[in-house]
Chains A and B, each alone.
Chain A
Amino acid sequence: MAYSNKVIDHYENPRNVGSFDKDDASVATGMVGAPACGDVMKLQIKVSPDGIIEDAKFKTYGCGSAIASSSLVTEWVKGKSLDEAQQIKNTDIAQELALPPVKIHCSILAEDAIKAAIADYKQKHGG
């Protein structure tokens, strides 16, 4: 199976790899995993007091498509409000990266990761 150029680009030059201090009040963390392939994805967002995602970082152990999906999502969410980021759909990720059907679950994982991070933020801030 051939990876698309966009997947290869994100895989070779992943954007926003790393971590924020999870004890920072403005930081929220989403952790998700896929039992079938053993992939683990951590996606963190740094949110301004007015609810805008200022920065995002990820760490993913998994295949090229999983890494590319999480890398892309960290790029997409920057500058978005939490509500806007909540709207990101796995189908948009899959389409942007031209993922083949067998790799759709990687985009689902990335969507679930951003949703988990937003939920973590809302829980931390009593929303």
Chain B
Amino acid sequence: MNYFQLFNLPASFDLDLTELGSRYLQLQRRFHPDQHSAGSERDKLLAVQQTANINDAYHSLKHPLLRAEHLLALRGLKISNEQRSFTDPMFLMQQMELREQIAEIEQSADPDSVIDSIERQLQQQKRALLQQLAAALDADNTAQDQLAADVIRKLKFFFKLQQELELIEQQLQD
């Protein structure tokens, strides 16, 4: 299913999220099962299915990585369930170093400033990669799509680090 078509939005990585949000609400209202309570069983079932599709689509288009994956899937490059290992040694070395910094937060004399410094690094790297991703997807050709897939893989590591960092921050506050 083409999620962009569902919301009648252009299939582009650069998406107007406000517009997506309001179209989501419109569609949700239109297909809400309560609106179809007077209809046949089949109508009701269709409304429930359509609501599930709308929710899935909204969730996928809202998140930049899922949106990028969906866009690539529409172009015939499916990477969402791949189990292939990532093998770029320089990138992985950098990930290892960031992981080490995160592991040392709790022993640090000033954990907050260490968290801030890691947070800044993560944001900076994420921003640069998201720009690369946008440019690669915008080009809309096979070579650039492959590049985009690689940038998505890298970004997944950064989103994961961000989550871990937030978890540690939370634990320190408790």
Contacts and interface: CB of A to CB of B under 8 A. Distances in A.
B80 to A, nearest CB: 9
Contacts of B164: 38
Contacts of B96: 31, 40, 42, 59, 61
Contact of B85 (A32, A38, A61): A32
Interface string B74-114: 00000000110111010111011001000100000000000
A40 B99 contact: yes
A105 interface: yes
Q: Which label, helix, strand, loop or mixed, suits the secondary structure of the B interface?
A: helix
B161 interface: yes
Contact of B99 (A31, A32, A61): A61
Interface in A41-86: 42, 59, 61
A34 B85 contact: yes
A42 B92 CA distance: 9
Interface stretch (B28-36, B139-147, B152-160): B152-160
A35 to B, nearest CB: 4
Given A32-B92, A33-B92, A40-B92, A108 B85 contact: yes
Nearest to B154: A35
Interface size class of A (residues with CB under 8 A): 20 to 34
Contact of A32 (B82, B86, B103): B86
- Of residues A38, A105, A109, which shows the largest number of chain B Cβ atoms within 10 Å of its Cβ? A38
A1 interface: no
A2 interface: no
A33 B99 contact: no
23 contacts: A31-B89, A31-B92, A31-B96, A33-B86, A33-B87, A33-B92, A35-B152, A35-B153, A35-B154, A35-B157, A36-B82, A36-B156, A38-B157, A38-B160, A38-B161, A40-B92, A40-B99, A40-B157, A42-B96, A61-B96, A61-B99, A104-B83, A109-B85
Interface of A: 29, 31-38, 40, 42, 59, 61, 104-105, 108-109, 112-113, 116
